[in-house]
Amino acid sequence: MTVAPIRALPLDVLRRRSSEKWREYPEDVLPMFVAETDFPLAPAISTALEHAVRIGDTGYVASQTPLAQAYAAFAQRRFGWTPDASRIRSTADVSMGIVEILRRVVSPGESVIVTPPVYPPFFDLVDEAGAVVERVPLHDTGTGWELDLDGIDAALATGARAVLLCNPHNPTGSVHSRESLAALAEIAERHGAVVVSDEIHAPLVQPDAGFTPFLAASDAAARVGFAVTSASKAFNLAGLKCALMIAASDEHASVLRGLPVEVEWRTGQFGLLAAIAAFSPESDPWLDGLLAALDENRRLLGTLLAEHLPGSRYRMPDAGYLAWIDLTDLGWGDNPAKRILREAKVALHFGPAFGAEGRGHVRLNFGTSPELIREAVQRIAPLVGR
């Protein structure tokens, strides 16, 4: 059955928003940088938040909530995986969850592997946890990106104690295969290491790509892994503050239970209510419509880049709404987003922020209307050859 795509809000409405995307730059700049989307909220979320406001349900998060059960049911419907709700705890956001877990599985000064080009805060989160970043870049196959399993094995053999995994990967939109994740788990287990998997983009995997949660990849993955996820990227809830930390073994569940109660109390009440609504079956049609819209947009972007920015290199992502675009051959320097912002008035995420592998690249957010994607590329096009 064909799913009707949802449509983004009009520009005049979006410019009334007060979030980072719409306040960082002047109104003559088209913002396509930070990971916020331009779609209306899922109706179930709006209803839940409106009800809470009407009755003043704005207090502390309760010690017992249906969030874990709601996520477990969502994961079963969307991924064919049912995590044990008793092994799930919440916190404010995925970054906080990553830091709190790393603090308890890695000793100060030990190394944590990251796989650049990767979400820029990963570098800071490892440092915040008291550890040291060990870079093992993704392997570029020529048609996509894969984990460098041999490189990870070598880094763990020389002392790294954990892997901070991005699954699906930001900024490339790559979805790691079950086989790759299972192999990673075996490597980690052989070295006595831990894998912390950031799965915030998991609900945004396109249906034809499929998604394997790390903890479901194999028995070894369940033993060595933690997952941290949220409804915030798919449902545009970042400002409401709610994420989930998930274990699949008794040992790792005890790590989560041992976290200070304040870690869970940092969960936002509105974030919790919105996440429960997002993970409910009522929101599934909205999410399917979002995926249909993003599918159209990722394909449109490829057509526009080929037409207006010859020399750019773009691989259509399998997940998310973030495009990783190589502009090296256009000769716009290591950080082409700076020139694009200055001369075309389009704000893109700076490629070098994702690691040295991001030189010459930009990240473009296509979680918006086709009209704004078209305008962004057409604004950039006159820079070619200048």
3-state DSSP of 214-264: HHHCCHHHHHHEEEEECCHHHHCCHHHCCEEEEECCHHHHHHHHCCCHHHH
| pLDDT tens figures, 127-185 | 999 999 999 999 999 999 999 999 999 999 999 999 999 999 999 999 999 999 999 99
Say if 11-41+284-383 and 46-281 have the same CATH topology. no
The reported pLDDT for the residue numbered 246 is 99
The reported pLDDT for the residue numbered 199 is 98
- The mean pLDDT of the chain is 97
Query: In b/e form, how buried is each residue of 86-116, taking b as 16+ CB within 10 angstroms?
Result: ebbbbbbbbbbbbbbbbeebbeeebbbbbbb
The reported pLDDT for the residue numbered 2 is 85
Domain extent listing, the chain: 11-41+284-383, 46-281
pTM of the model: 0.97
| pLDDT tens figures, 31-67 | 999 999 999 999 999 999 999 999 999 999 999 999 9
| pLDDT tens figures, 84-96 | 999 999 999 999 9
Label residue 385 by pLDDT band (50, 70, 90): confident
Fold of 11-41+284-383: Aspartate Aminotransferase, domain 1 (3.90.1150)
Q: Say what percent of the chain tops pLDDT 70.
A: 99
- Between strands 111-114 and 132-135, the pairing is parallel
Q: With respect to CATH, is domain 46-281 assigned 3.20.20.150? A: no
The reported pLDDT for the residue numbered 347 is 98
